[in-house]
Amino acid sequence: MKSLLRPKAHAKCASICGFATSCLRSSYGTSSAHTPGLRRKTSFGGKLYGPPTIFEGLGRVGKATRAMSIGTQRELVYKDELDDEFTGLAGDDGLMTVAGFGSLLSERSARYTFPNLVNFRTGWVQGWRRVFAHTADVFFVRGIARPETGEISSLSLEPWPETQPQPQPPGTPNGTATAAADPTSLPSPSPPSAAAAPLDDSRRRSRGVVVSLFEVPYTPSNVEAFISREHEFRFVAVEPLELPGARPIGRRAVVCARNTDADYRAGRCPPAEWNRRWSVHGIDRVWRDDVLPCRVYLRHCVLAARSLGREAEESFLYDTYLADRRTTVGEHLLAHPDIMDERPPPELAERYNG
């Protein structure tokens, strides 16, 4: 296998590997600016710090606070959360916009889920970050979960804490595209299987994610199928920008946002449904901080991001975090480069290949 390390990352590999390897030993026991108000839990044999109960999103998009919502107390309340009909999401053309941030970064992969999608393109969602902090029942169904090592987690979006600097979309001053335009300001181009160097201060000021944007027909059956397929998430409307140029797209897009087990059980997953989806696999918690990315799925997402372009790949490696909210995917891959050699089962080889 060719080295996952970019040329400028070799010198820092040892320290990064030591840090990321400690994550596998569940030593997330220090607080950080990214995760205020952590609470201690015990799981997988070690004491861990759980994620914050409340995330304050930047600006007005996706602001989450603890509050009462329609007579039901929720742990997370999103200002622009959609109802189960996705009311207000459809445009005058009868289409709704989806923002993809994981496997949906690949048009080929997106068409497995949305065969009738149109206008696939690159976009930017500010004030949010990707986090591998929940498990997915489909990983168990398809035989790619590794519960013995905790490598069972999937992706969601969650708002950045409000104390973080205002994000800058690519193509604007101090944004990531400005840096990308200068070949001396970024690591060397990715080899065929590439991780990333550690985040520097300029990248850390970019609080947002590169996404894919596309439209699908807005119909009750499509909305119902979308919710059923992404059952554990909350669905929030965001106002993305189109890249290059950071232009408003003139319509809102739906993203799959972080949930909590309490809200999930109360709002969408009663006991019988929980048993059918989760208990059958021995899962007692879905949204959790003691898990690592599912290896096959992580490789799939890296390849999907790469297919969308360098900017998307950089964003995925730099702006995606493990459940500790400190370790980036790039750092995790530097410590565990064999993940990019992880092949899916033969029956999933086409679907889980970027």
**What tens digit of pLDDT does each residue of 14-26 get?**
333 333 334 433 3
**Which residues, in sequence order, are CB contacts of 97 under 8 Å at separation 6+?**
89, 91, 213, 214, 215, 240, 249, 251, 252, 253, 254
Task: Provide the 8-state DSSP code for 274.
Answer: H
Cα(109)–Cα(104) distance, rounded to whole angstroms? 6
Is residue 2 a part of any domain in this protein?
A: no
What's the CA angle centered on 273, arms 268 and 279, to 5 degrees?
A: 120
**Residue 1 covered by a domain:** no
Q: Token pair for residue 250?
A: 């003139």
On whether residue 260 sits in a domain, the answer given is yes
- Residue-number span of the structural domain to which 230 is assigned: 7-348
Structural domain includes residue 249: yes
Whether the upstream peptide bond of residue 244 has omega within 30° of 0, thus cis, is yes
Cβ contact 39:46 at 8 Å: no
Closest residue by Cα to residue 79 from 269, 285, 252:
252
Amino acid identity of residue 163, one-letter, is: T
By CB neighbour count within 10 A (0-12 exposed, 13-18 middle, 19+ buried), where does 143 fall? exposed
pTM for the whole structure: 0.71
Q: Is residue 197 part of a domain?
A: yes
* Structural domain total, the chain: 1
Query: What are 183-195's pLDDT values in tens digits?
Result: 222 232 333 333 4
Q: Which residue has the tokens 């990531």?
A: 176
- Is 261 a domain residue? yes
pLDDT confidence tier of residue 76, bands split at 50, 70 and 90: confident
pLDDT above 50: residue 293: yes
Q: 336-348 burial string, b = 16+ CB within 10 Å, else e?
A: bbebbebebeeee
| The pLDDT of residue 86 | 96
Report the range of poorest mean pLDDT among 33-42, 92-101, 196-205, 239-248: 33-42
pLDDT band at 59 (very low <50, low <70, confident <90, very high): very low
Question: What's the rounded Cα separation, in Å, for the pair 88 and 40?
Answer: 39
65: left (phi over 0), alpha (psi -120 to 50) or beta: beta
Is residue 354, in this structure, part of any structural domain at all? no
334 domain residue, yes or no:
yes
Structure tokens, 179 = 């840096």
- Record the tokens describing residue 186, joined without a space: 């970024």
